[in-house]
Structure 1
Amino acid sequence: IEKGLVISFPEEIPNRVPHQILLEGVVDLDGNLLRDTLVNVLRNEAQWGDLVFNEVMADPDPAVDYKEEYLELFKRSDYPLNMEGWQLQVNERSYLLNNSNVEPGDFILIRGITLPNDGAILSLVSKEGTLVHATSYEIPWNGPDWKKEGGWSLESPDADQVCRVSANWGYTNDPGGGTPGRENSNHSIRVDVEAPVLLYAGLGDTRDIFLHYSEPLHFPQDLKAAIRLDPGGAVPDSVLLIDPLREILQLHFPEDFLDWPKYQLAVPGFGDCMGNVSDDLVFMAGAVSQALYASVLINEIMYDPEEGFPEYVELFLPGDKILDLQDLAIYLVEEGDSADHPIALSTHSRLIKPGQYLVLTESAPHLMDSYELELSGQWVEVEGLPGLNNSSGSIYLCDRAGNVVDYARYSDEMHMELLDDPRGISLERISVKRKGNEPDNWHSAASIVGYATPGRENSQSLMENDSDLLLDVAPEVFSPDNDGYNDLLEITLATGGNDWVIGLIITDLQGNRIRVLANNHLAGPSVSYSWDGEGQNGAMQPMGFYVIHARGYRPSTGEQWIRRRAIGLVYR
């Protein structure tokens, strides 16, 4: 430069750390001495979370007040920035942003772009190549249908929840259909205390493991040395966060391990971008096997859910083999049609471990909210999954070559005859040892579990350890005094079959009814109840002897039984 001074330092100047430079003995070319000068210096380059995606108008038609697509950014940090040379990415398409100065609290509108109506991944990158923010959006499952038709923007309620934007999008409540350039209509203060959850693991080449988490991550590189792959104790050569969403951790190891029969991966706890730290992780895996017939089973089918609830198909992995979900596809076939439209279950590697349940559905958040399920890798969103016919149909599970792995039929006639309406009741597989296309290997889910068991053992499954004892209680004397010892009376009915309608009441020795635990409950081969000592009115019962009365009726055969058992209630 002609008029100036370039000063180079041996180390990188930290970003946004105030410094002072003392200039002494500086002279110009004519020998004029610059008096000693103290210069304040601040390196100010954009960093993660300076600006965040705050509003998306992806489908303005039919228009309310706004007729074009737009994105809104919010400047949340305290440092002014210039956006010259910045890039916006919408999926694989890039847009060069205009030169503009932004101040803290500014709203920045981006127009003249194309936003997919059904969802996209968004990322914002500074001219230095720093990822400033990234998120994804999709049509909210719980939004009103009339807003899903178009004309209404998606808003983020709290710009400070940098990691949670993807999970928090909701339709605007503004009567104009959006709030471009001003505070969002659904603005509220949110608190993020949830640590990242490992959803599942996948494989790359012979040396890579990909760990898929529930939210954007912050992984300090000094933790790399604490990662271990056993046997052998290998440490990864590199640990990378996969851009742009940074929800995937790629571990690259110095040796091949994919053919090892068994291996164990230990990963220390680390945080999300808000500082919530996950627990230490130990992940067991091994060589991936080929998906063969009956190596994965169709285990439960919810084909006609209650209004507002999602359909789903549950899979179960018996045996001791590890499989990869990307090797599987599913056909949903209506009666009279052929199986000619396979739907891939995963676009990338996703390991399935023995004993694991997976639930295939169109929207994992919808499934979790409907059935009060915890965040987990058990819930699999399958892109393009068609709806199940509400009265009957067939499901084929195949490998990538089209070879059948399992096959199941379903219909209303397979439900228990006593049911007036099977809507909202899933069909559960009774035995994993029998074929899925046998109608009598399926049964209605029991009422005691809410008529559905997504992601867990079926209520109607046959268990090898079913007791021959029809009525069992433990302990025979219990003490509901909340001391942690024998506080509950456990009552188990081992019917040994399906189609049983159960009644279970407790009386005193005079026959006065104290508590009704089951009134015409639909039960499977084994069902359990508990009594906490309360009567029907909620009052704790006095110390003494009580009688359990159990009855069972099987409408399909006319069988019935009655059992009684005396128990004691004491207070210590």
Structure 2
Amino acid sequence: MIKKYFAFFYMMLFMSFFTHAQLSENFNDGDFTANPAWSGGTSDFVVNSSLQLQSNNTVANSNYFLSAPNSLATSAQWDMYIQLAFNPSSANYVDVYLTASDDDLALNTTTGYFVRIGDTNDEICLYRKDNDGITTKIIDGTGGILNKSNNLMKIKVIRDASNQWILSRDLTGTGNSYTTEGAATDATYTSSAFFGFYIKQSTASFFQKHFFDDIEIKNYEPDVTPPALQSATAISANVVDVLFNEAVEINSSQLVTNYFANNSLGGPSTAALDGVNPSLVHLTFANSFTNAVTYTLSVNGVTDLSGNAINNGTANFSFYTPQQYDVVIDEIMADPTPQTGLPNSEWVELRNTSDFAINLRGWKFADATRQSGIMPDFVLQPDSFVIVCTGSAVGGLAPFGTTFGVASFPSLDNDGDMISLYARDGKTIHAVQYTSAWYQDELKKDGGWTLEMIDTKNPCSGISNWKASMNATGGTPSSKNSVDGVNIDETGPKLLRAFAVNNTTITLVYDEPLDSLKASIVANYTIDDGITAISATGIPPVFDKVSVALNVPIVPNTIYTIAAANIADCKGNVIGSKNSARFGIAQETDSLDIVINEILYNPKPDGVDYVELYNRSQKIIDLSHLYIANRNGSNIISSIQRVAKEGNLLFPKDFIVLTSDAFSVKNQYITTNPDAFMPVSSMPPFPDDAGHVVILNNRGNIIDEVDYSDKWQFPLIANTEGVSLERINYDGPSVQSNFHSAATSFGYGTPGYKNSQYSLNEGAPGTITVTPDVFSPDNDGTDDFATINYSFPSPGYVANITIFDAKGREVRYLQKNSLSGITGYFRWDGLDDKNRKLSEGIYIIYTEIFNAGGKKKQFKNTIVLARKYQ
């Protein structure tokens, strides 16, 4: 029984000693007066709302301390988190007493070891203090590492059984990336009574800016585990970075015979331990790596700081030269205001669509006017994302995912811009030329929402592969796009136009980016008049244009045609029938070479204005040398807008429609020539009641001007909204008598093709003809309609058409006060006014026309309605 009692007594004594010998404190109880009990300047410290110990002394040029019991002094490990929210100096530093003989850390007679954080050299060092007050530096840390206004750190100190001290620090404050400051042996003091913090401060700039947390003092367990390979990463064509899971010893890590790579690569020519990260070794090989080949690196004999050696460690690496579209710009925040849920910052998201990790170090980002600084050393893994922005925006965007900033980040235009991504060698990896129409949402294009790519495997399809984000926050930074999906592209590129840069060079413009290799094959181009192409080059960064050099100069007043074959887009779709374009040398525009042919100044709801021009001359005219404008209240030409940003040719007898939204116009009007539209980013305003449309050449001379008025419209039109004014005669003056409302039968507008009111011979007699003579409305595809064709002597005629049966009874009122063009047609489907089928027989089509001048005319035509018998 006595033996059991003494056994229990010694067990409790051992447990009590073991408990008091160790210290663990994270201040989560909001207190430092118990468990453990800290002593010293207790009024000089508080536990703040973040549950950290924080200095609270507000006396200038003061010294103060706080200590807690600790008897662990040998075979020990000390860990703690510290933040100094200032740049330390010889008058502002912290001494962390690992061991102390007395709880009063300010006494000269207190002996022990301490870590000094900050002094004149902005370093972290280990000192010994003797009972005469003299301190001796036993580990001299790296100078300058604390030379900043805010310092986060984790400190780790180890003292092993042989009294070797190792001092390490992690300046990220996470404890995941320790760097060793040094090692030394000292056995002067082998006991301890206290642990604590001693603070020296000067002015108010340093008050209450010391923070401490996660303090742990424990028995040191020697490292008997060898280092392990975490990764091997090719950072260039012959350099591999080898990362271990802990700091490695300098001599063994730099021995080239400790490394070997397969696939005939062999050992490196040099091995160098990184100067900052002691876990990182740079290997340089004499021979370059083969692109996209995977190598296995074997490592033997490299030891950690405890002498443990790695045996048969392996890691795979490969070097890959990024190709076009391996990394794509797949989300754009061009207009963050008004905010929807994301930070008020512009940014782009990059996505790695390849099967290889790609280092973005040295890459650049640009828009149409500005190129960024280089990107940092960052490896973008396959099928992963990164947000790129200006440096000041990183803090706000980082919570959403991996983010880095670049200097001189371009300012992205809200209405449209061309943004490009370049590899370190200057190669274009991806480019996007977006417009606000890409949002495909009138509300979201006004700001606060991102543009998202739908299918990143189809990166060059333009507007068809982009739309506004559907995420409630306004975007999906650093994650899969909300509109992500399959968007198959099976349509080949179209050759939109060509223009001469000079007499031996032309530029071809396509509707989408091309395979730049196929676009550069000279044999893919044929030109008439005996001219041949001698070179072809895709124009970066978008590659939707090709520069073609000619073997002989082209001559003025001649229209040439170039045809392209075997040209493909970036998905491999080959060009189809839209593969040719005219070109020639443009000439200077004179008065009335081009005339204003049609004006829509009062558009339909959700519509936009448009102005149609007609080239009445024999010249080839470059639209980039023309400007559209209006006149202000002082009758001064204003709101001048360039018609085209680059060469765009208007050939003799051709039309061009200027508008800010071609898509809207095409949806609201009959469009027989969709290529005859020229988007103008901001059209001059044209009032609904009256205004001025002015066309200028590049010298500022007026080419044509129309001072229109809503009173020019046909008087019997009650509502002129959506009704265009059409020029009657190209050669007539730009005055009221030569303009008329577009015809009802043409949808009140003819953008891009001949006007419904066009007339060259106003004296021609009016006629009405009906075809066929016999029609059978049975939907068999043959003669299902009666077509009533008309031709009137001048514009402005209104038609009323009534159908009578053979007994003279009215059966259908086909048209009522329909404003007609010079020529056109109406159709009758064989039904009466109540949409009932009429019986077979003879019918009379009675047409009455009249105009505002009082002229009238009547026409009678007969037709036979036949039906099949079952």
TM surpasses 0.5: yes
1:54 paired with 2:330, answer yes
Q: Distance in 1 between matches of 2:476 and 2:607?
A: 31
In structure 2, the CA distance between the partners of 1:193 and 1:511, relative to structure 1 (3 Å rule), is farther
Q: Distance in 1 between matches of 2:776 and 2:318?
A: 69
Deviation at 1:492, TM superposition (A): 1.3
Deviations 1:266-308 (A, max 9, x none): 3225222223322353434444333122211100111111221
Query: Match of 1:527, SS?
Result: strand
1:422 paired with 2:720, answer yes
Q: Distance in 2 between matches of 1:540 and 1:161?
A: 52
8 Å contact from structure 1 (residues 425, 451) kept in 2: yes
Residue in structure 2 matching 1:82, options 336, 359, 371: 359
Q: Which amino acid aligns with 1:179?
A: T
Query: Match of 1:368, SS?
Result: helix
Q: Distance in 1 between matches of 2:438 and 2:357?
A: 37
Query: Match of 1:200, SS?
Result: strand
Q: Distance in 2 between matches of 1:151 and 1:174?
A: 11
Query: Match of 2:537, SS?
Result: strand
Deviations 1:544-568 (A, max 9, x none): 43322212232x2333332211123
Deviation at 1:317, TM superposition (A): 1.1
Q: Which one is further off, 81-90 or 413-422?
A: 81-90
8 Å contact from structure 1 (residues 479, 486) kept in 2: yes
Q: Distance in 2 between matches of 1:188 and 1:423?
A: 40
8 Å contact from structure 1 (residues 123, 133) kept in 2: yes
Q: Which amino acid aligns with 2:507?
A: F
Q: Which one is further off, 359-368 or 418-427?
A: 359-368
In structure 2, the CA distance between the partners of 1:317 and 1:70, relative to structure 1 (3 Å rule), is same
Residue in structure 1 matching 2:349, options 72, 87, 93: 72
Deviation at 1:52, TM superposition (A): 1.9
Residue in structure 2 matching 1:561, options 857, 861, 870: 857
Deviations 1:505-531 (A, max 9, x none): 434323455555423211122221234
Q: Distance in 1 between matches of 2:435 and 2:867?
A: 56
8 Å contact from structure 2 (residues 842, 863) kept in 1: yes
1:213-228 correspondence to structure 2 within 5 Å: 213-218=510-515, 220=518, 223-228=521-526
Q: Distance in 1 between matches of 2:371 and 2:674?
A: 33
In structure 2, the CA distance between the partners of 1:537 and 1:184, relative to structure 1 (3 Å rule), is farther
Deviation at 1:221, TM superposition (A): 5.4
Deviation at 1:160, TM superposition (A): 2.9
Deviation at 1:62, TM superposition (A): 3.1
8 Å contact from structure 1 (residues 198, 377) kept in 2: no
Deviation at 1:127, TM superposition (A): 2.3
Deviation at 1:452, TM superposition (A): 1.4
1:170-181 correspondence to structure 2 within 5 Å: 170-181=467-478
Q: Distance in 2 between matches of 1:141 and 1:301?
A: 27
Residue 2 of structure 1 corresponds to 269
Residue in structure 2 matching 1:398, options 664, 676, 696: 696
In structure 2, the CA distance between the partners of 1:336 and 1:256, relative to structure 1 (3 Å rule), is same
Deviation at 1:152, TM superposition (A): 2.2
Deviation at 1:184, TM superposition (A): 2.3
8 Å contact from structure 1 (residues 466, 494) kept in 2: no
Residue in structure 1 matching 2:767, options 470, 477, 488: 470
1:296-375 correspondence to structure 2 within 5 Å: 296-334=594-632, 336-339=634-637, 342-371=640-669, 373=671
Query: Match of 1:367, SS?
Result: helix
Deviation at 1:353, TM superposition (A): 0.9
Query: Match of 1:140, SS?
Result: helix
8 Å contact from structure 1 (residues 331, 397) kept in 2: yes
Q: Which amino acid aligns with 1:64?
A: T
Q: Distance in 2 between matches of 1:558 and 1:523?
A: 16
**Higher-RCO chain (CA-CA 8 Å, sequence separation at least 6):** 1
Q: Which amino acid aligns with 2:854?
A: G
1:107 paired with 2:382, answer no
Q: Which amino acid aligns with 2:453?
A: S
Q: Which amino acid aligns with 1:493?
A: Y
Q: Which amino acid aligns with 2:739?
A: W
Deviation at 1:365, TM superposition (A): 3.4
Q: Distance in 2 between matches of 1:161 and 1:467?
A: 56
Q: Which one is further off, 118-127 or 427-436?
A: 118-127
Q: Which amino acid aligns with 1:185?
A: S
Deviation at 1:382, TM superposition (A): 2.3
Deviation at 1:313, TM superposition (A): 0.7
Gaps of 5+ in 2: 1-267, 271-283, 296-315, 391-408
Please identify the structure whose Cα radius of gyration is greater: 2
Residue in structure 2 matching 1:229, options 503, 506, 527: 527
Q: Distance in 1 between matches of 2:563 and 2:462?
A: 29
1:275-286 correspondence to structure 2 within 5 Å: 275-280=572-577, 281-286=579-584
For the aligned residue pairs, the C-alpha RMSD in angstroms reads 3.2
8 Å contact from structure 2 (residues 603, 609) kept in 1: yes
Deviation at 1:466, TM superposition (A): 8.8
8 Å contact from structure 2 (residues 499, 584) kept in 1: no
In structure 2, the CA distance between the partners of 1:376 and 1:214, relative to structure 1 (3 Å rule), is farther
Q: Which one is further off, 110-119 or 47-56?
A: 110-119
In structure 2, the CA distance between the partners of 1:369 and 1:197, relative to structure 1 (3 Å rule), is farther
8 Å contact from structure 1 (residues 271, 278) kept in 2: yes
1:118-267 correspondence to structure 2 within 5 Å: 118-140=415-437, 147-218=444-515, 220=518, 223-232=521-530, 234-259=531-556, 261-267=558-564
Q: Distance in 1 between matches of 2:744 and 2:818?
A: 6
Deviations 1:59-98 (A, max 9, x none): 2233232222211122233333222222211223223222
How many residues were matched structurally?
Answer: 546
Deviation at 1:255, TM superposition (A): 1.7
Q: Distance in 1 between matches of 2:634 and 2:831?
A: 54
In structure 2, the CA distance between the partners of 1:509 and 1:358, relative to structure 1 (3 Å rule), is same
Deviations 1:395-445 (A, max 9, x none): 222222222221211111111111222121111111112111x11111111
Q: Distance in 1 between matches of 2:294 and 2:349?
A: 34
Q: Distance in 2 between matches of 1:257 and 1:338?
A: 40
In structure 2, the CA distance between the partners of 1:480 and 1:252, relative to structure 1 (3 Å rule), is farther
Q: Distance in 1 between matches of 2:791 and 2:671?
A: 28
Residue in structure 1 matching 2:756, options 447, 450, 459: 459
8 Å contact from structure 1 (residues 227, 236) kept in 2: yes
Query: Match of 1:413, SS?
Result: helix
TM-score by length of 1: 0.86
Q: Which one is further off, 326-335 or 240-249?
A: 326-335
Deviation at 1:247, TM superposition (A): 1.3
Q: Which one is further off, 457-466 or 296-305?
A: 457-466
Deviation at 1:210, TM superposition (A): 1.0
8 Å contact from structure 1 (residues 137, 169) kept in 2: no
Deviations 1:481-511 (A, max 9, x none): 7776655533212221222221224343234
